[in-house]
Structure 1
Amino acid sequence: MTKASGKGVGAAPATVKPSIAHNHWMAPVLTAAVLVGTAAAGALWISQRSATSPLSAPGIVLGDGQHGPSGMAWVPGGEFLMGSDSKMAQANEKPAHQVRIHGFWMDQHHVTNAEFRRFVEATGYVTTAEKAPDWETLRVQLPPGTPRPPDSAMVAGGMVFVGTSRPVPLQDYSRWWRYVHGADWRHPGGPGTSIEGKDNHPVVQVSYEDAQAYAKWAGKRLPTEAEWEFAARGGLEQATYAWGETFAPDGKQMANVWQGQPFPVISPKAGGALGTSPVGTFPANGYGLYDMTGNAWQWVADWYRADQFRREAALGKRIDDPAGPVASWDPSEPGVPVTAPKRVTRGGSFLCNEDYCLSYRPSARRGTDPYTSMSHLGFRLVMDADQWERQRSRS
């Protein structure tokens, strides 16, 4: 494990001062099955939260509204090995290959419920989960010839983790996920749940479309997959986790991931329904970024191809600022067309554990229907240095 090489790429702007199974599951098939006739159910979560002191490291550059955008950290850019060849890596993470990234600003934490509320109040925006599903966007995720569900089944809602009462085989994710009518960002688990008292938790039940709408309003953008992974590594080259090689150094939990009961068993004895944790609960990484892994999955900008890293490595040269493929390709989900539209999601969530989902690693990746909303899926944004300079000059 070494520090990634900066090599002068994307140095901080002059105005800045330091201040085991893979998640092949995904919602489209299950969502459609539910819309065709599966009943909705209530939601429960299980996680374990652990407060720790924030990381204090030299060289972390934080924006203060004058010398960089408030709430964002400077990611200096540089060359790094993207992906992984470790024994934990899934096929879609291989092989590790050389990439160079220019510097950018990144939100220190997920967009929170409070931040998303301000956006909605300012714009009147209605999220994907608050609208009835559109058949044209749903049918491309289904086998050709799938009949359209009746209008009575096309109801607004989102995917909710409901867990199980006992251990079950981990091949059938419909045992612990449900499409719940009325689940949205204000009610992540459906009717009867709320975000009251959770202003500083990641907003969830937001689609890729919702994240893009927020980004436009905020004057930012979603990170590319390469930017996200470089930032998540925090300057550590090929480390297993965002903080190093040991999952719990000195016995300290470093991320909000599944704890206690075997996945996906939920039980009152296991601590209730904690779900997401407040942003900043766990230590920041080497760039001053919180929850790059664990807590909630994060949308990124790229289309998802399961073989994208093999395609990039086959070029036999370093790739500068890769923007991802021009279309999706994923043969891993039975019943879903291989070219069904999917965007990359990164970082894992409070539902990840070593028995089912080891996605709280910087190289882990998966593809998600861009119109899907889920109770463990949120986002954070980035801003280019020149974009910040333009905003600063106008203020």
Structure 2
Amino acid sequence: MPAQSFRMGDANGDENRGDGETPVHEVRLERFSIDATSVTNDDFAGFTDATGYRTEAEVWGFSAVFHLAVAAPMQDLLGTPPDTPWWRGVKGADWRHPGGRNSGIHDLGDHPVVHVSWNDAAAYCAWAGRSLPTEAQWEAASRGGLDGARFPWGDDPHADLTVAAPTTQTRPGEPWMMNIWQGTFPIDNALEDGFLTTAPVRSFTPNAYGLWQTIGNVWEWCADWWHPGYYRASAFVDPRGPVQGQVRVMRGGSYLCHMSYCNRYRNSARSSNTPDSSMGNGGFRTVETRADDDSLQPGV
């Protein structure tokens, strides 16, 4: 990513109340490198094979699975959150078994790893000599140099990109440009984009910086603690979020986003979760580690 100044935040009036996407404010970043894709199952397997690391979902023995993606016997279902009844707590769900004990990833090596907590992602980064992106780095990278745009390619969710794309691109479900929900959420997915859950990380078309699927597919953990009022006090140069907090920033939306309840599949959209939470639509990508960076380690 080139050194740049950009306007961070929602410039289109799309903000979800309480998410803290405003005020729009100028941010200056030095150049940095960021993964072109989310970390894949194959990538994460390399980490666990080398270290023996067990994710928090594996240690606890359960994780959150979307109800249409459950692949487990009835006795493994642990309950349903009252405010989000499309989720199921599933015993045995983890990154190797994304739907539960009757699922696997043998043919999903190029899909994003899911069921990884912030702590798990930070542990991977420590092993790889990388870091989680700051929220500002993530948004600058996702925007691809397009000031104020809703999406990595512009404002139209169905628009074609004008940038040249590698020959490896896939375009399932044209004219969709991202992996989100189509149909009646959460009971009927029309699959117009080609996917019920995750898509291979190099699906659709990359943005002008060469990044694939920063929006849709899976939520991506960022380094920062989250606070809805942070933008009012954000630093101009290299902002890194509040110095402490209860939840960490997540960016980009996922395959479950739908305008009827969650329009967070946008460049400026923000969400958050506790650092020990894992779910079937959450993953991450990494950036180069800076010499002064001592804040992105597990449990900090």
Range class of TM-score, shorter chain: 0.7 to 0.9
SS at match of 1:202: coil
Question: Is 1:276 the equivalent of 2:198?
Answer: yes
Partner of 2:232: 310
Counterpart check, 1:241 vs 2:158: no
Shift of 1:282: 1.0
The alpha-carbon deviation at position 270 of structure 1 amounts to: 5.8
Task: Write the mapping of 1:301-380 to structure 2, written as runs, cut at 5 A.
Answer: 301-312=223-234, 319-328=236-245, 341-380=246-285
Contact 2:32 2:288 in 1 (8 A): yes
Number of the residue aligned with 2:222: 300
Give % identity.
Answer: 45
Give the AA of the match of 1:177: W
Q: Does 1:115 find its partner at 2:43?
A: yes
2:144 aligned with 1:226: no
Distance 1:296 1:217 in 2: 22
Residue aligning to 1:129: 57
Q: Quick one: distance in 2 between partners of 1:127 and 1:384?
A: 22
User: What is the CA–CA distance in structure 1 between the aligned matches of 2:30 and 2:135, rounded to whole Å?
Assistant: 13
Q: Which amino acid aligns with 2:176?
A: Q
Answer yes or no: is 1:175 the counterpart of 2:103.
Answer: no
**Which residue does 1:257 correspond to in 2?**
180
Amino acid paired to 2:214: M
Aligned-partner residue type, residue 115 of structure 1: D
What's the CA shift string for 1:106-147, capped at 9, x where partnerless? 100000000100110111001000112xxxxxxxxxxxxxxx
**Equivalence for 1:208:** 118
Report how many aligned residue pairs link the two structures.
265
Q: Relative to 1, partners in 2 of residues 1:196 and 1:274: Cα closer, same or farther, differing over 3 Å?
A: farther
Within the candidate set 383, 387, 391, 2:288 is matched to 383
In structure 2, the residue matched to 1:84 is: 10
Using the size of structure 2 for normalisation, the TM-score is 0.83
The answer to whether the Cα contact below 8 Å between 2:110 and 2:201 also exists between their aligned partners in 1 is: yes
Question: Secondary structure, in 3 states, of the residue corresponding to 1:345?
Answer: strand
- Asked if 2 retains the 8 angstrom alpha-carbon contact of 1:104 and 1:384, the reply is no
Q: Which letter does structure 2 place at the counterpart of 1:281?
A: S
Q: Does the 8 Å CA contact 2:179/2:195 hold for their aligned counterparts?
A: no
1:187 and 2:97 matched:
yes
Q: What SS class does the counterpart of residue 282 from structure 1 fall into? A: coil
SS at match of 2:50: helix
Amino acid at match of 1:361: R
Render the CA deviation track for 1:70-95: whole Å, top value 9, x for unaligned. xxxxx112101111142212241011
CA distance in 2, matches of 1:283, 1:358: 20
Q: Give the Å deviation of 1:253.
A: 1.4
1:217 match:
127
Give the equivalent residue in structure 1 for 2:106. 196
Counterpart residue identity of residue 238, structure 2: D
Give the whole-Å Cα distance in 2 for the aligned partners of 1:321 and 1:240.
22
Given the two structures, how large is their TM-score scaled by the length of structure 1?
Answer: 0.64
Distance 1:173 1:196, change over 3 A: farther
- Which ranges in structure 1 are unaligned for 5 or more consecutive residues? 1-74, 133-155, 165-170, 313-317, 329-340, 388-395
SS of equivalent to 2:243: coil
Deviation, 1:254, is 1.0
Structure with higher Rg: it is 1
Does the 8 A contact of 1:163 with 1:175 survive in 2? no
2: CA distance, partners of 1:385 / 1:299: 18
Distance in 1 separating the partners of 2:83 and 2:281? 15
Look up the equivalent residue of 2:244 and give its one-letter code.
A
AA at the equivalent of 1:364: A
Deviation at 1:102, TM superposition (A): 0.8
Q: Is the 8 A contact 1:343 1:368 kept in 2?
A: yes
Asked if structure 1 preserves the Cα contact closer than 8 Å seen for 2:129 and 2:289, the reply is no
SS at match of 1:129: helix
- Kindly provide the CA deviation profile for residues 193-236 of structure 1, in whole angstroms up to 9, marking residues without a partner as x: 11120100000000011101100111110000000001010000
Deviation at 1:252, TM superposition (A): 2.2
- Mapped partners of 2:211, 2:107: distance in 1: 23
Tell me the distance in 1 between the aligned counterparts of 2:103 and 2:253: 23
Q: CA deviation at 1:310?
A: 2.5
CA distance, structure 1, for counterparts of residue 108 and residue 268 of structure 2: 29
For 1:240 and 1:254, locate their aligned partners in 2 and report how far apart those are by CA, in whole Å. 13
Deviates more, 1:249-258 or 1:347-356: 249-258
In 1, are the aligned partners of 2:223 and 2:248 still within 8 Å (CA)? yes
Tell me which of 73, 95, 108 is aligned to 2:23. Answer: 95
CA distances 1:315-365 after superposition (whole Å, capped 9, x unpaired): xxx70000110122xxxxxxxxxxxx2000000001011111111101000
Report the Cα distance in structure 2 between the residues aligned to 1:293 and 1:101, rounded to whole angstroms: 21
